[in-house]
Amino acid sequence: MISEEVWEHAKQHDQELRAVVAREREKDPEGHLGVMSPGGWSSPKTLLKWEGDAIAALVGFAYRMIREATEQEVETLSGWAIALPADESIGPHDHHQADVVLIYYLEPGVSAPLEFVDRDIQLEPRAGLAVLFRGDVVHRVQAKPDSVGKDRLAFVFNATLRDM
């Protein structure tokens, strides 16, 4: 299962979401991507505790998209923000602790597509796009070594589910 949806309220909340990412990066400039991407940045998985109307709207969108796509209730949800420069990659990995993963692209940047390794599928990110897939699906983002430009900014959610 891979679902895509463009968030209809993306443009309304973009500016505030960018400010939230900037604020979180100031709090923790080193981030947590570390082994996954030495030059990338990730916030702690505390997004659901962050304040602001845009965060509340994004979390509400994530809950709705997950429920509608899976026809199941969200039991637990965690979230975080990431920033990935074009010349950085995120190696193959899954989110085995989650039933589903939702990635919301605030700024696609100039980095490579999201690749689903075992499925030979690539998705080109674009601003406002949310992609939902099973947590056990191996995926990655390759580096574009000669590229310069904006970082890819995204919000990632892990969800566990229960039947309705």
Q: How far apart, in whole angstroms, are the C-alpha atoms of residue 25 and residue 84? A: 12
Alpha helices in the chain (DSSP H): 10-27, 53-70
- What's the confidence (pLDDT) of residue 48? 96
- For residue 139, the model assigns a pLDDT of 95
pLDDT of residue 109: 78
| pLDDT score of 39 | 75
pLDDT, tens digit only, all 164 positions of the chain: 789 999 999 999 999 999 999 999 898 887 775 556 677 888 989 999 999 999 999 999 999 999 999 999 999 999 999 988 878 888 899 999 999 999 999 988 776 889 999 888 999 899 999 999 999 999 998 877 666 667 889 999 999 999 76
**Domain extent for 101:** 2-163
Between strands 139-141 and 90-93, the pairing is antiparallel
Q: Residues 117, 138: contact at Cβ < 8 Å?
A: yes
Whole-prediction pTM: 0.93
- Count of domains for the chain: 1
| Residue 157's CATH number | 2.60.120.620
pLDDT of residue 1: 75
b/e map 43-52, b = 16+ CB within 10 Å: beeebeebee
Q: Phi and psi at residue 108, in whole multiples of 5°?
A: -70, -20
Per-residue model confidence as pLDDT tens digits over 46-74: 999 999 999 999 999 999 999 999 999 99
- At 146 the pLDDT is 65
